[in-house]
Amino acid sequence: MPRFYFDLVDGTTVPDASGQILRSELLAAEVADKLAGDIYKIRPELRGKHFAISVRNEEGEEIHRADVVSSDD
C-alpha cells in the first residue's frame, strides 16, 4: 500500500516526515479533510490565515489540498 504525507502549509510548510500508509488517494484526501476540520476546531488561532493540509504521494507530488475552514463554510 502507498504512503501519503500530510503537510501543514500557509506561506511556509511544516512537513510530515513519517506519513501514513493508506489504501488510496481518495482515502488520503478524506483523512486530510478530516484533519483540516479537526485543526479548525482545536486551533482557533489558525482560522482565517490560509492554512491548509497538503497531501503528498510517495513521489512528492501534491494530490490534494484541504483548507483549514469550518465544515459549515
DSSP H/E element including 56: strand 52-56
70 has pLDDT over 60: yes
53 has pLDDT over 60: yes
Cell (9 digits) for 61: 507530488
Determine what percent of the chain is predicted with pLDDT higher than 90. 81
Residue pLDDT, tens place only, 6-41:
999 998 999 999 999 999 999 999 999 999 999 999
Q: How confident is the model at residue 72 (pLDDT cuts 50, 70, 90)?
A: low
- Environment class of residue 20 by beta-carbon count within 10 Å: exposed (0-12), middle (13-18) or buried (19+)? middle
pLDDT at residue 47 in the model: 83
Q: What is the pTM of this model?
A: 0.88
Determine what percent of the chain is predicted with pLDDT higher than 70. 95
